[in-house]
Each structure stands twice: as structure tokens, then as C-alpha cells.
Structure 1
């Protein structure tokens, strides 16, 4: 097993680049941190390239490490890689997924310019739990492999197709297939419970501060809103997405 002591080691510097979108885009890899995410990554087959272990950290004996390079690093190097204040001492460098097919998908969640990594990760986790078939990340939305997105998603990004692209193009394709497209906005909106859930649909949620873009709003079949009964001006976008996704799933 290779051992690296210095945080200034070229290999560690290369790993640190994976904490940036530019570094991830150039290498088509990303890094996950913590026992749960690393274990979920190992379950996906051959996506884990390297497993990084801070000295003194013990790995579960049940993990299948066949074909995975195991590298031990010093506590100093581990801190340099950590995106958390208290690291668990285990990381994995993973291959990014190739573009997945959504031909067989019936239900879609589209994210229009979301900027908060925690919100995006929570939405992905909730969407996967509610049985959504595919997620489309529109332009201006934070990168899927951002460490905070991954931590909030808790491994859900491994379990369903997530595609980055132009929402307008995807919406046009969905409409050609007869998939109803629902936006989330007060403008020309109806209370969400007035819409009858369907087996196939696309739901769009927009930017935390500005909502959906004008261009995307112009393409929806119907806009929905969730009524506010208290004095709050709005709901957190992840909470709103969860309410709507489960409504469409269960009709309740």
C-alpha cells in the first residue's frame, strides 16, 4: 500500500483539484468523503479508482476492494482533502458517470438555476426517495459533484440518471412525447392539489431567490404553487420540491 505523508505531494495536490468544478471537469473524476458515501461508491461496481485512508483509520472488513488502489495518507494530507470540519478519514476518487439514457423514464425533475449545494443535494435525495425516474440539471445549477451536493444527497446520485443540459431542449423533447410539464410559480399558477397526479410528468423547480427563468416559464403547460398559511413569504425550494414530488407520487 502506497503511503503519502506531505499535503504538498503532487498526488495530494491533484486530489485537491477535485474539490473544484474545473478540476472535476478536466479529469472526469470526483471525490467523495466519509464512510457512507465511500461504501455507496464501492457498491456501484468499478467507479472507484482510488481509496484514500488517513493513517489510524480502519476500514470495514466487509468492503470489497478488489481492483481499487488503496493509498494511506498522513493526518495533515487528510485535512487538506477534507470538505468537513471533522473528517472521518476515508475518501474515494470516483469516475463520473457517462451520460445516462432517459428513454424509459416517465417522471422527471428539472432544476432551473439552483445555487445552493445543500438544497440540490437534498432535492436529489428526496427525488430518489419519492421514486422519480430522472433529474435534469439546467444551466446555472451548481455542479452535481460539488462536495456539499454529494454530502447532502447521501449517495442518491448513484441510484438514478442525472443529466446536465439545456432545459429548453429537454422540455421540447418531453412535450413531443406528450409529457405534461409543470412549473412552480404564482404567475398563472394553480394550487397544486387541483392538479390530478399522472403516471408521467415533468416538474420544474427554480432558483432559490428568483424562481424559474422567464424562458423556462414560457414553456410550461401549467404552473403550480403551494399555499402559505403563516407569515412566511415562501418555502425552502427543497421542502417545496418534496411536497410536490410526494403529491404526484401518491395523490395525497
Structure 2
């Protein structure tokens, strides 16, 4: 085994990214206070090649210079938008055919890797590092997804949780729907 050099790693050219097919997943980041968490989610979203990131509430945007420390340029590769309130956005996404899923611990959750076949396209909502997703936002979702945890703590960092959940959702989508477009690179 040998570690690959930077030049040996197959990846699309930055100018190619906008034309490549995306996985049928969107991210809604609501009231996440740490710009480093937001930057991490941008970087993960680029790696997962999702459709769009929606930043709501007081979540910081790529204009914040500290986001670049964790996003490492991904803020330029992933489409994003900023919205003051999440509920009108969630209604618009629902009207456009998206299932709205909360990444939250509730009394009725399922694992992201077991999302129903009709859940795609899906908009995944993540919330504040301390309070999670607010009850009025939770009232607007179609389903709740939860990552199984086996230790003493009952939560994960929001950026880490998103990374686990989005890759579970992508695997599920690819199993049910196949890869987006004619794409060999991601197999």
C-alpha cells in the first residue's frame, strides 16, 4: 500500500463542477453558530456533490473569512443561498417535490441509511449546536433521521453528524436510484 500523491487523486476540475450531475440532496443549515462547522459542512457537501446549501437564521455565510479555514475553497464549488426564515424555504422545497428531513433525535426517527425510497429528492435540516432544531421548524418536516449512538454522550458535533448522514443518504439514493447521470468517478 502506498499513499497517493495529490496529482494521482482523480477529481473533477473546478470549472467542471457546475456541469456535473448532483445527488438529489439539499442541506438546510439553521442557526448554526460556529462558522467552522458551517465551513466543514460546505467541504463535506462538495465531497458529496449535493445540489445546494441553504443557510437560514443567524448561520454565517461564505462572506465570513473564517469559513474559508475549514471550507478550503468548497464555498466556491457548492451552490448556496441565504434565507432569514426557514419555514417559507421549507414550504418552497416541499412544493418543489423535496421530502423535508430533520437530523434530530425525536420520538419517531429512522436511520438515514433506511430512508424510504420515495424520500428523494430530500432536503436535510440541521440545527443549532446546543438546542438542535427548533420545535416550530421541526413541525414543518416530513421525517426525522437519527444516527445510532452507542456511547455515553447523546449527541455528535453538527458537522460530523451531517457528514455521516449525508453519506448514508447518498448510498441509499444510489442504491435506489443509481448514480446521478452517467458517472463512473464516484463508484
TM tier relative to shorter chain: 0.7 to 0.9
Unaligned runs of 5+ in 2: 1-13, 16-21, 176-187
What's the CA shift for 1:188? Answer: 3.4
> Does the 8 Å contact 1:112/1:213 carry over to 2?
no
Residue number among 104, 108, 121 corresponding to 1:185 in the alignment = 104
Distance 1:136 1:225 in 2: 21
> Does the 8 Å contact 2:54/2:81 carry over to 1?
yes
For residues 164 and 114 of structure 1, do their structure 2 counterparts lie closer, same or farther at Cα, with a shift above 3 Å needed? Answer: same
What's the CA shift for 1:113? Answer: 0.3
Give the match's secondary structure for 1:223: strand
Distance 1:246 1:158 in 2: 21
What's the CA shift for 1:146? Answer: 1.4
What's the CA shift for 1:200? Answer: 1.0
Give the match's secondary structure for 1:239: helix
> Does the 8 Å contact 2:25/2:51 carry over to 1?
yes
For normalisation by structure 2, the TM-score amounts to 0.74
Distance 1:189 1:236 in 2: 21
Distance 1:173 1:218 in 2: 15
Q: Which has the higher contact order (CA 8 A, sep 6+)?
A: 2
The answer to whether structure 1 residue 212 and structure 2 residue 137 are counterparts is no
What's the CA shift for 1:105? Answer: 8.7
What's the CA shift for 1:144? Answer: 2.5
For normalisation by structure 1, the TM-score amounts to 0.56
> Does the 8 Å contact 1:190/1:225 carry over to 2?
yes
The answer to whether structure 1 residue 233 and structure 2 residue 151 are counterparts is no
User: 1:141 maps to what in 2?
Assistant: 59
> Does the 8 Å contact 1:183/1:217 carry over to 2?
yes
Distance 1:131 1:147 in 2: 23
Bigger CA radius of gyration? 1
Distance 1:105 1:195 in 2: 15
Structure having the larger proportion of residues in strand = 1
For residues 233 and 106 of structure 1, do their structure 2 counterparts lie closer, same or farther at Cα, with a shift above 3 Å needed? Answer: closer
Give the match's secondary structure for 2:150: coil
> Does the 8 Å contact 2:45/2:78 carry over to 1?
no
What's the CA shift for 1:114? Answer: 0.1
Give the root-mean-square deviation of aligned CA atoms.
Answer: 2.1
Residue number among 45, 51, 54 corresponding to 1:127 in the alignment = 45
What's the CA shift for 1:106? Answer: 4.0
Unaligned runs of 5+ in 1: 1-42, 45-103
> Does the 8 Å contact 1:105/1:134 carry over to 2?
no
Residue number among 123, 137, 142 corresponding to 1:221 in the alignment = 142
